[in-house]
Structure 1
Amino acid sequence: MSDIMRPMSIGHLMNWALSEYKKKGSIFGIDKLVHYTSGQALPIYEEKIESPFGPAAGPNTQLAQNIIASYVAGSRFFELKTVQVMDGAELSACVAKPCITAGDECYNCEWSTELYVSQAYAEYVKAWVVCKILAKELGLGNPDGFVFNMSVGYDLEGIKSEKVNTFIDDMIEAKDTEVFKECINWALENVDSFENVDADYIKSISSNISSSITESTLHGCPPDEIERIATYLITEKHLHTFIKCNPTLLGYEYARKRLDELGFDYVAFDDHHFVEDLQWDDAIPMLERLMALTKEKGLEFGVKLTNTFPVDVAAKELPSEEMYMSGRSLFPLSIHLAKLLSEQFDGKLRISYSGGVTIYNIREMFDAGIWPITMATNILKPGGYERLSQISEKFMECGTERFHGTDTKAIAALDDAVASDELYKKPVKPLPERHMEKELPLFDCFTAPCRNGCPIAQDIPAYLEAMTEGDATKALDIILERNALPFITGTICPHHCGDKCMRNYYEETLHIRETKYAAADAAYETVLKNIAKPEARTDKKVAVIGGGPAGLSAAMFLSRAGVPVTVFEKSENLGGVVRNVIPDFRIKREDIEKDVALCKAYGAEFVTGKEVASIKALKEEGYTDVIVAIGAWKPGNAHLQYGGAFDAVEFLADAKNEKIEVVLGKNVVVLGGGNTAMDVARAAIRVKGVENVRLVYRRTRRYMPADEEELREAIEDGVQFMELLAPIGVENGQLKCSVMELGEADESGRRAPVDTGKVEYVPADTVIAAVGENIDGTLYEDMGVELDRKGRPVVDANMMTSVEGVYAAGDSRRGPATVVEAIADASKAAAAIAGISYEKYAEANVAEDSAKYIAKKGYQSPDLTEMPDKRCLGCSTVCETCADVCPNRANVAIKVAGKCQEQVIHVDGMCNECGNCAVFCPYAGRPYKDKFTLFWSEEDFTNSENEGFYCEENGEIHLRLDGKVEKTDINGIRTISADAAAVIETIQKDYSYLMK
């Protein structure tokens, strides 16, 4: 069943590794195999490591294949997953599943191996032998250039128990254990499978698996118990010893303050762990004693920074009450603790480190004398173990010097840099939803999530690729197929396509909007010149009311299809709110005019300065269809009990056209928290005589509807945010407000404001209300169009209202909407009227060559300014994110004949339902539950609900599809599902190593 891991035999591991390498050049999905050839290695204990990093004790060192994947990707120091007296089924029953969510900072609610201790031991021995063999066979480096470090917990009694004591002894010397002998014998019996490994080499493989250990204790463990454990490990087991220290050594006040300052104020924890855990005054003398003891015994000693940081489950992140935080939010705490300890011991205390290490800080950590360095969160993210391959490039010349102390000044500099480094700061607003609102398909799940995040399903991969090829004209042609306003959307689009971009998990979203603008800017003249007016159709004649984004877009799409179309605009300028309201510092007027020119180019007629009073009149003039595309211009309700406020749109229009005749005064207050409020505030701060612009909102900025980008720009312009204030009324230059506080979070994590009963006064010479505009429903009412309770027209999927031939688009359908939403509405209405398809470039989103995208996996770009942006991962061609992020390698991509993209198969026996693949899957799905599954036994097949199959040795196949179970052969499978049959046949023929 899915949550029970079935360790592979040494034969299965070696067959998989060698077969996959021969077939694909990869091992357990790792394409970028790392070869250390400099001959340099760092002495540690009586051993040496070719690089100072590797996976931390956790999901990435639980199974043999995890360790092997880390090794071939460049790791050379392995902190094995913690073992303790509680193990196997007993421990697994205590771990809530899913147990990992690493979407940004990471949280987990598991703490040691879910295997039995004897199984864990076997996994570590198998991994040891396989890594030794692969090192020699593939020339990956010195076979003796890596180290296994044990991790044990959580009390002395448990460590002295027979099972854990045996584990430690057998890790120190494995030669007499059955599993070590089995591994060596298998290798000797299969020596002909190797090209560079002979029998003498196999016999020479060291049976000393580990000579070092990391002591991991639970929160609240008394200091004398910690010291007793360490003393036992040093004196009785003669092990080089690290002690894991908790961030709680910093004290509650410091931890709370630092996380709050960096935007992690929503992370919930109280002070009880800080009170119960090891205290600084106890830790320092204990460490001094242990340093002296190890020196006396000729052993090495150090601290491991840091252990888990316990926080509350506040927004249903995991199905537990408490969870452990790691990743970038842990780095600021861990590095500060490193600084304090380095200062305390004058650089003489060795520090092993884990807590937010990435490609961006690891070399600086090493140069400061902090090593070995391990990581978990970093390699739980897309790219997975392949991220280690890039890190290895920084350590090809790692040197040969033994640890000689930490550089206290360098560590202090790293600590000081946290405050200004965006890497450690949480965005102002909660991260957007990354998943598409689509079920995960059983087969053929590859898609471009950026397109799904775009209201017009722009062919983003296609035009990004055209730009990387240097063909801006092709790129703009692709853009214009679905987007009539490339300059406007290339400048002010909220670009929610980027919310879904997989690059968010690497560094930041692709610069999709900026690339669109670059294409438009470069190819505008050429494309405009080559536009030819189509042959006119006679069966349709369309009127569009409103010359804003929706009206312009409808005009382009319809006229491009040969439909005669006339746009009526009441003002003298085309462009609607964008042209007449949005400030010039947001978008250039000439860019708006270029979009207008593109929309005119196919022959649409534009009548400006004419307001349409009746849809019926247009129908009587012979228009077969009418699209209402007027803007939302009616002021919203500021809900002030007394006093008045200027309307936001009216203010912006006057400001843009330099018609501000009233003096705003020194103090301007803006009511609202949306993008319009940000525009108002930024425009007001530019008005002569204004000294302070304050934005009043009843929640905190974290819960404002404005986009993150808009918030940041307002903050940079000097707008003051007056949070948790609800306006009451304005009088005598003062805005009276109710003071609010945030109540309990709802299921989405959003916290409702609660009135405290207190009031506060804000200086207000002028109040401007940006609280949402309304539409004028007169045209609809006159025509008898059905309206909803907000006075907006009820439309079908094609944007047609309840009246045949009358359509609504943009603000006139939705209320205040974005430009791209207006284009989306217009495109649907035009398609319905004229039978238009926008699929001309759909196939271009899938590239023929997947190798270039595979090469980008795991690579984090140091340059985010390059244009065109070449970081696209090609998700519609080669996603495989679930395979990347699975620590156990349980999701595997296979090439199936007749399929353009590789298919993902889930291997049940390798999965413990940690849930990490579900965190990053672009769909609203769980690959470990929802992908076609290969089972290794009939028992596991029977005990699972996954769609999938199990093959018996006699050729019979157990198949579960749509909840129905069949027992048949491959011919029978073909009659049930061609997709399932193709996958099963492919596995049997080309990927037999996946099966046990």
Structure 2
Amino acid sequence: MSDRMTGIPFAQLMRWAFKERAAEDSIFGVASAKFFRKSNQNTLALFGAELENPLGPAAGPHTQLAQNIIAAYLAGGRFFELKTVQILDGADLPVAKPCILAQDEGYNVEWSTELTVPDAFNEYVKAWFVLHILAEELGLGSSRGFLFNMSVGYDLAGIQSPKINAFIEGLKDASRTPIWRECREFLLGNLGMFERVDRAFIEAIPARVCDSITLSTLHGCPPEEIERIARYLLTEKGLHTYVKCNPTLLGYDFARRTLDQMGYDYLVFDDHHFQNDLQFADAVPMIGRLKNLAAERGLIFGVKLSNTFPVRIANQELPGEEMYMSGRSLYPLTINLAYRLAEAFAGDLRISYSGGADSFNIDRIYAAGIWPITLATTILKPGGYLRLQQLAERLEAAYHGPEFNGIDVARLRSLAESALTDSHHLKESREVGTRKLAKDVPLTDCFIAPCTVGCPIGQDVPEYLRLVQEGRYREAFAVIAAKNPLPFITGTLCNHRCMTKCTRIDYETPVGIRAAKLVAAERGFAEYSAGLKRPVIDSPFKVAVIGAGPAGLAAGYFLGRQGVDVTILDRKDKIGGIIQHIAPGFRISQAAIDHDLELVRSMGAKFRLGVDGNFSLAALRNEGFKYIFLAIGAWKPGRLKLAPCDREVINVLDFLETFNKTPQNLALGKNVAVVGAGNSAMDAARAAKRVAGVENVDVVYRRTRQYMPADRDELRLALADGVQFKELLAPLSFQNGVLRCQRMELGAPDGSGRRSPVPVPGAWDDLAVDSVIAAVGEGIETELLTDNGIGLDAEGRVQADPETHETSLANVFIGGDALRGPATIVEGIADGARFARIVLERENLGALDLAAPASFDTERQLSEIKLKKGLLQTPGQPESEGGRCLECDTVCNLCTEVCPNRANIAVRVHHEALHNRNQIVHLDAICNECGNCEAFCPYDSAPYRDKFTLYANQADFEESRNAGFLLLDEEARRFRVRLGEQTADVTFDSAGRCHGAIPAAIAALIWATYQDYHYLLR
């Protein structure tokens, strides 16, 4: 495919908008429920016009094509900063692809529009007409209630060139341009399309598209050049003018310190831009002179804050050497720059703002007197343009009068100071990891719930979240218990990797999946248990499970449920493994554990407790056990090497077991150090704080808190309990009550962005410590395995079949910690379920039944999902978290939402060959391969390359390798189709029957596109 996008002809643009609205109740993917309709007469005075709200897309991907601007308007945008034009354009402009990465903080490597300047002009005029029509026809607001603001760069010679001059003059008066006549004539010739728009309205659409401009300059542009350009725009062009400023005005030290403090220490940049760019001391008098000049001319002058922030491409995030940062990490820089400039002018400075604005701060930015406010990064994320509706409504509620009355410097100072600690902008607020799944996106039926796939046991998360939301707790518990024998334990202690896959993480915070599971357990257990029938144990063979932790309990649960005779053996006096014996009571109650054990027991498993830990597989064989599952747990203490060391270092498992059973026996002294940074370290630190006599507990870790492997929730709970973190320290010795630590610093990021600690030569810290608890990773007692003839590999790991986990001994399997090293609870459950499935298959007892279907009101569900899209919400009570779940397995559409150009389309297809009625079609002609859909697709794929593609012409079809189709003959309904390396021509009869050798699902998708979405075909 080509990375060159083309504009949609005006006639097709209009037909697309109106036909999509009639068929789908949406326009360019913006559902009518998400249209922003002006509800009052409050407007803002700007550039001699009345602006309905001061919000819109920044100069960038959302203002490069007409449909982008239209989508932004529908959702709430009213101030449109058109994408920057420069003399270097079209095919002459070098743009690396992909050019956008907005997974968290945003990055890009683009400068200006990729269109030619005349083509960009055409897009802006087309959008101007359509916005007038939609405002009137749909009653969205006044057709005079929005503004276009042109953006140009990058030097005076280029701006004075005939090409850019024609662009500027054309937007000042478009009436004599061919595109103006084309649009006007089409509308006048198709008045039948409209109910509220008439000839007089169309003829009155003003030809003055823009009377304001924003100047964008490259890094290193001399201050005198910036001032010359601004003077030219004010005096020669008579335009209201904003000058875009760079965050480098703040100085290198401030930027480096701020980003490090907020967790963005991995960003690589030096001071050369800071030295070469406009300096603050020069900027203030220049701005003052330009303000005075504009006032003399009766024009408005202001600054646009801010440009993006340049950082080095250190890990191949994007092609090239330097990329430009934006989004939530840019916010603390931009808002502090706004404060410094506003303070320098005592508040008498107009600021147009863009730099990490979102729903959590936009009303506060506006309340400080800063507007208009434009956005890019936040609307590159899931929800896309739909996010603008919420933002527009917040600004409407915060309205404070029509005129600019200066900036409230005190309020802005408070906002700037709070930005440095605002959780929405701290890096650690986003869980470490990727939402990507190790799967290729299929051509059809690609909708998937990343939380479910990311869960080792495949919990049906969206289903039970909705059931909890609807108060159907017994059904929610049944859905959970179908795959999970430990709902209370996982609802409390699970490391919830599902939440790191949650689409909500790209909105604000993941859905509280674990907490909602616990609600289902607490409120659904009794009713579920009352109706539970104990299975009949009648298998002709016996199974032995060694270890009564999660893996062993799961094996007994699933096999017992299927009528298999299972005995679980454990050397401890209680079942439950590490959870029972190690997890502190403040983490999980005994009652919660007992409920899960009751559930497991109800499936018929038998238990032998207090058995000799030195088990004999031969003896178990002699007892008649045909299958054996080893789930012995990771009870072997990890070793912390300290030399010299004059007192015992306490192992974390020993400490926590004693804390649980006989805490009165613990004597730790006043000062305790916990070495390690996983969840067990947090448990130990919090437990130590509760031991009599302990006053101070330090967690000692060789990296910074940002890189601690413990769950963010566990870190916060530890801090709330008064635990202190000693970061960048590596313990060396423990002697005479002193824990000597090597001071560390973080080295350069590796490919994953993780920075390894390296010693600071000659630098130590001495901590006064009475006790040291080592939480440095536990192991398994491999001697128990080798003594029974189970083979290990060269690294001491159990040799097991990668698919079945069968060991070197026939019918002896392994799982949980014994297989993986310290495993998570759900990994153990998954291993137990796998073992049960294999036993059932080998004994021809059928498949393991993991289904617990629930019924929903489909239409209500689809309607509610549509309303959630683009709506940022703070977490509520656990029972209401289903209201935040986006139910991705029912409606995903992420690639359609995040595409600025609308190049991915959801098509409704009803066919038995397809499981989902929504399918994705990619439109080659309007895609520029920016890469944004790849960033957010849950699959390890790029929709712009990997989804079924509709081509506009034969040349594009031949240039691409995408699977896709091209309409060859309208009358004959003949298409050319490529699937893999095979290309074929197929035809359809009038009933939609395909004549040609292509899969039925693909044929159904092509026919639905042709029949119901004909406006997509050029």
Corresponding residue to 2:886 among 869, 873, 878: 873
| 2:908 counterpart of 1:895 | yes
Question: Which residue does the alignment assign to 1:640?
Answer: 642
Conserved 8 A contact 1:263-1:428? no
- Once the two structures are superposed, the pairs formed by residues 34-433 of structure 1 within 5 Å of their partners are 34-91=36-93, 94-396=94-396, 398=399, 401-427=402-428, 431-433=432-434
Give me the TM-score of the superposition, normalised by structure 1.
0.97
Specify the SS of the correspondent of 1:18.
helix
The Cα of 1:809 is off from its aligned counterpart by 2.1
- Larger mean CA deviation between 811-820 and 732-741 belongs to 732-741
Question: Which residue does the alignment assign to 1:987?
Answer: 1009
The Cα of 1:383 is off from its aligned counterpart by 0.3
The Cα of 1:646 is off from its aligned counterpart by 2.2
What per-residue deviation string (whole Å, max 9, x for no partner) do you get for residues 125-157 of structure 1?
Answer: 000011111111211111111100000111111
- State the distance in 2 between where 1:701 and 1:399 align: 41
Question: Which residue does the alignment assign to 1:978?
Answer: 1000
The Cα of 1:485 is off from its aligned counterpart by 0.6
The Cα of 1:740 is off from its aligned counterpart by 3.6
> Structure 2: which amino acid aligns with 1:506?
Y
> Structure 2: which amino acid aligns with 1:648?
V
What per-residue deviation string (whole Å, max 9, x for no partner) do you get for residues 607-651 of structure 1?
Answer: 222235212211211122222221211112323344352222112
- Once the two structures are superposed, the pairs formed by residues 930-945 of structure 1 within 5 Å of their partners are 930-945=946-961
- Larger mean CA deviation between 819-828 and 787-796 belongs to 787-796
Gaps of 5+ in 2: 841-845
Conserved 8 A contact 2:5-2:928? yes
- State the distance in 2 between where 1:194 and 1:222 align: 52
| 2:532 counterpart of 1:531 | yes
The Cα of 1:702 is off from its aligned counterpart by 3.0
Over the aligned positions, Cα root-mean-square deviation in angstroms equals 2.0
Question: Which residue does the alignment assign to 2:896?
Answer: 883
- State the distance in 2 between where 1:629 and 1:350 align: 67
Specify the SS of the correspondent of 1:958.
strand
The Cα of 1:757 is off from its aligned counterpart by 4.1
Conserved 8 A contact 1:310-1:325? yes
Specify the SS of the correspondent of 1:310.
strand
Conserved 8 A contact 1:671-1:771? yes
- State the distance in 1 between where 2:285 and 2:539 align: 92
The Cα of 1:741 is off from its aligned counterpart by 3.4
The Cα of 1:844 is off from its aligned counterpart by 6.3
> Structure 1: which amino acid aligns with 2:985?
K
- Larger mean CA deviation between 776-785 and 842-851 belongs to 842-851
| 2:779 counterpart of 1:781 | no
- State the distance in 1 between where 2:877 and 2:325 align: 31
The Cα of 1:815 is off from its aligned counterpart by 1.8
- State the distance in 2 between where 1:750 and 1:39 align: 52
| 2:819 counterpart of 1:813 | yes
Percent pairwise identity? 49
- State the distance in 2 between where 1:641 and 1:164 align: 72
- State the distance in 1 between where 2:366 and 2:757 align: 46
- State the distance in 2 between where 1:419 and 1:701 align: 17
- State the distance in 1 between where 2:755 and 2:296 align: 57
Corresponding residue to 1:852 among 841, 847, 864: 864
Corresponding residue to 1:750 among 736, 751, 754: 754
| 2:920 counterpart of 1:918 | no
Corresponding residue to 1:952 among 949, 956, 968: 968
- State the distance in 2 between where 1:115 and 1:744 align: 38
| 2:864 counterpart of 1:830 | no
- Larger mean CA deviation between 240-249 and 965-974 belongs to 965-974
Conserved 8 A contact 1:727-1:735? yes
The Cα of 1:862 is off from its aligned counterpart by 4.2
> Structure 2: which amino acid aligns with 1:933?
T
- State the distance in 1 between where 2:946 and 2:411 align: 48
- Larger mean CA deviation between 667-676 and 209-218 belongs to 667-676
What per-residue deviation string (whole Å, max 9, x for no partner) do you get for residues 792-843 of structure 1?
Answer: 4333323322222222221122221111111111111112113442441368
Conserved 8 A contact 1:81-1:151? yes
Specify the SS of the correspondent of 1:427.
helix
Conserved 8 A contact 1:846-1:877? no
The Cα of 1:785 is off from its aligned counterpart by 2.0
- State the distance in 1 between where 2:675 and 2:348 align: 57
- Once the two structures are superposed, the pairs formed by residues 304-703 of structure 1 within 5 Å of their partners are 304-396=304-396, 398=399, 401-427=402-428, 431-611=432-612, 613-643=615-645, 644-659=648-663, 661=665, 663-703=667-707
Conserved 8 A contact 2:72-2:385? yes
- Larger mean CA deviation between 842-851 and 913-922 belongs to 842-851
The Cα of 1:747 is off from its aligned counterpart by 1.9
Conserved 8 A contact 1:886-1:916? yes
What per-residue deviation string (whole Å, max 9, x for no partner) do you get for residues 628-687 of structure 1?
Answer: 221211112323344352222112111221256463233333232322222222222332
What per-residue deviation string (whole Å, max 9, x for no partner) do you get for residues 661-718 of structure 1?
Answer: 4632333332323222222222223323333333333333333332323333333333
- Larger mean CA deviation between 732-741 and 823-832 belongs to 732-741
Q: 1:278 to 1:759 in 2, by over 3 A?
A: closer
Gaps of 5+ in 1: none
- State the distance in 2 between where 1:123 and 1:496 align: 44
The Cα of 1:765 is off from its aligned counterpart by 2.9
The Cα of 1:409 is off from its aligned counterpart by 2.1
- Larger mean CA deviation between 514-523 and 625-634 belongs to 625-634
Q: 1:136 to 1:600 in 2, by over 3 A?
A: same
Specify the SS of the correspondent of 2:790.
coil
Q: 1:595 to 1:866 in 2, by over 3 A?
A: closer
Specify the SS of the correspondent of 1:783.
coil
The Cα of 1:17 is off from its aligned counterpart by 0.4
The Cα of 1:583 is off from its aligned counterpart by 1.5
Conserved 8 A contact 1:958-1:965? yes
Conserved 8 A contact 1:877-1:901? no
- State the distance in 2 between where 1:577 and 1:395 align: 52
Conserved 8 A contact 1:61-1:79? yes
Question: Which residue does the alignment assign to 1:715?
Answer: 719
Conserved 8 A contact 1:636-1:774? yes
Conserved 8 A contact 1:43-1:400? no
Specify the SS of the correspondent of 1:959.
strand
> Structure 1: which amino acid aligns with 2:363?
R
- State the distance in 2 between where 1:737 and 1:836 align: 55
The Cα of 1:973 is off from its aligned counterpart by 6.4
The Cα of 1:728 is off from its aligned counterpart by 3.3
> Structure 1: which amino acid aligns with 2:702?
R
Conserved 8 A contact 1:626-1:806? yes
Give me the TM-score of the superposition, normalised by structure 2.
0.95
Question: Which residue does the alignment assign to 2:843?
Answer: none
- State the distance in 1 between where 2:3 and 2:809 align: 55
Conserved 8 A contact 2:542-2:566? yes
What per-residue deviation string (whole Å, max 9, x for no partner) do you get for residues 302-325 of structure 1?
Answer: 111111211112232211211111
Question: Which residue does the alignment assign to 1:969?
Answer: 987
- State the distance in 2 between where 1:944 and 1:518 align: 51
- State the distance in 2 between where 1:773 and 1:394 align: 51
